[in-house]
Amino acid sequence: MTEDFLDTTSACHEDARAIVLTKVAIERAVATDVPALKALGVKTLTPVELVERALERAATDRPADAEARAAAALLSRLPTVLCHGELACTHARLTARGVILMEWRRAYLGCGLLDIAELTEDVRRFTGEDPGDRLFGYYGELIGITINKELARASRLVSQMSRTANTDQNSPEGR
């Protein structure tokens, strides 16, 4: 059974915490299915690997690189979960059944906080309002881990670096 969700409203028009709640429900639902996910081609990408890929693509060594590596090391202490890879307002649709997350082609096993960093940035762009650390706190509450400002900042930095690397890779110059 397939449904067409393209004509539905973005869940960002409502409370973005519903998107976080759906993400956590999916994380929990597949937590014991890692072998099946790997058999389906879902790769494991640690924060350290994401940063190293980004630095390799940038081909530079800047002072910010040490900060990014430290941020990645901090995030690597968090549990490995199914990450969407592009958790954005356009991929979170509001339906009669609740929030549906679409477009899982960049999914990977890694640090779920990176999805929250990406969502937070997209909510800010989409609504014009800055959710600050609210979504980080809610995610932490749902998974039972305190997400402090240092973890939120680290996830923003690693997310931004990996997005930049993906953008560069998809540009004509990066191909």
Res. 175: pLDDT tops 50: no
* Chain centre to alpha carbon of residue 64: 21
Q: What percent of the chain has pLDDT over 90?
A: 73
Q: Where are the domains of the chain?
A: 9-165
Q: What are phi and psi of 98, to 5 degrees?
A: 120, -160
Instruction: Give the separation between CA 31 and CA 66, rounded to whole angstroms.
Output: 32
Structure tokens at 39: 């058999």
So what's the pLDDT on residue 173?
Answer: 42
Let me know how long the chain is.
175
- Reported CATH class of domain 9-165: alpha beta
Band of pLDDT at residue 3, cut at 50, 70 and 90 = low
Of residues 137 and 53, which shows the higher confidence score?
137
Which pTM does this prediction carry? Answer: 0.88
Over residues 1-12, the mean pLDDT reads 74
> Which pLDDT value is given to residue 54?
87
Cβ neighbours, 10 Å, residue 173: 6
> Beta strand pairing status for 92-95 and 80-83?
unpaired
pLDDT tens digits along 85-138: 999 999 999 998 899 999 999 999 999 999 999 999 999 999 998 888 999 999
How many whole angstroms from its chain centre is CA 127? 18
* Residue-level pLDDT at 5: 73
Distance CA 168, CA 174 (A): 5
